[in-house]
Structure 1
Amino acid sequence: MFDHIGIGVTNLSESTAFYLKALKPLGGEIAMEGPSSVGIGRNNKPSLWLSETKVQPSHMHLAFTAENRSQVDAFHVAAMAAGGKDNGPPGLRPHYHENYYAAFVIGPDGHNIEVVCHQPNIGNSESN
């Protein structure tokens, strides 16, 4: 349903660096830039807008779709390397549904960033 979403961040350059690194496994890159905002997405289409704010933003939960479980794993590694705080390592969350494979990381402004794959792990050598 969403075309894009915008969130407030207290340090645009720090948050841009974090989200670019964390979302790189999903193909995330700078799609557009404004004077105090950055749009991150794929194929030159911003899906996530970061806008600098002087006020500490309320914490949000943002979930991004992964095509496979390897992307979930790669997101978690990249987000942790970018300075994120672990909020749930990659793994199945069967209380949501049997194939819900996700990882959670807290970003620079306290937003809970999730990457999730809803597909079964068919034909993969992964043990997840």
Structure 2
Amino acid sequence: MFDHIVFGVSDYEESKSFFLKSLKPIGIVVVDEGPLGIELSTDGKSSLCIRRNGEKTTPLHIALVAENRHQVDEFYQAALASGGKDNGAPGIRPEYSSHYYAAFIIGPDGHNIEVVCHENESQLPDRE
């Protein structure tokens, strides 16, 4: 539905590092970087744009899709290791649906970053 989401950050280098490391598990790559900031994407169709504005903005809730639950877990660990603050460990969120598996991290500017997977139990690989 969205083509791109744009938001400013107070410390561009810190945020750039945080987002690149935290979102690597879901395949985020740099599409472009220039004077305005950086454009990130997983598919080249929609993008997350981080802009250099030098001031804190109103925190956003940004939810990104993972292909599987393992990516959600990896995001959570990478985001914590990159300085993010826990806002909800990976797990099922039954208040949304019985197969809404997500993790939440507060990023450098207070943005609530969520990675979610919508796999149901029948889509999970066998674990023996």
Residue in structure 2 matched with residue 108 of structure 1 by the alignment = 108
Q: Percent identity?
A: 51
Residue in structure 2 matched with residue 17 of structure 1 by the alignment = 17
Residue in structure 2 matched with residue 50 of structure 1 by the alignment = 50
- Is 2:12–2:54's contact at 8 Å kept on the other side of the alignment? no
Aligned Cα RMSD in Å? 1.5
Give the Å deviation of 1:120. Answer: 1.1
SS in 1 for 2:33: strand
Residue in structure 2 matched with residue 77 of structure 1 by the alignment = 77
Residue in structure 1 matched with residue 125 of structure 2 by the alignment = 124
Give the Å deviation of 1:116. Answer: 0.3
Bigger mean CA offset, 31-40 vs 95-104: 31-40
- Is 1:6–1:50's contact at 8 Å kept on the other side of the alignment? yes
Give the Å deviation of 1:125. Answer: 4.7
The 2-side partners of 1:30 and 1:102 are apart by 24
The 2-side partners of 1:96 and 1:86 are apart by 19
User: Structure 1 residues 43 and 2, CA, compared in 2 at 3 Å: closer, same or farther?
Assistant: closer
SS in 2 for 1:89: coil
Give the Å deviation of 1:40. Answer: 1.0
Q: By percentage of residues, which structure has more strand?
A: 1
- Is 2:60–2:112's contact at 8 Å kept on the other side of the alignment? yes
Unaligned runs of at least 5 residues, structure 2: none
The 1-side partners of 2:126 and 2:34 are apart by 43
The 1-side partners of 2:4 and 2:45 are apart by 9
Residue in structure 2 matched with residue 28 of structure 1 by the alignment = 28
- Is 2:90–2:101's contact at 8 Å kept on the other side of the alignment? yes
Give the Å deviation of 1:30. Answer: 1.1
Query: Where do 4+ consecutive residues of structure 1 move more than 4 Å?
Result: 43-46
Residue in structure 2 matched with residue 90 of structure 1 by the alignment = 90
TM-score, normalising length: structure 1: 0.92
Count of aligned positions: 126
TM-score, normalising length: structure 2: 0.92
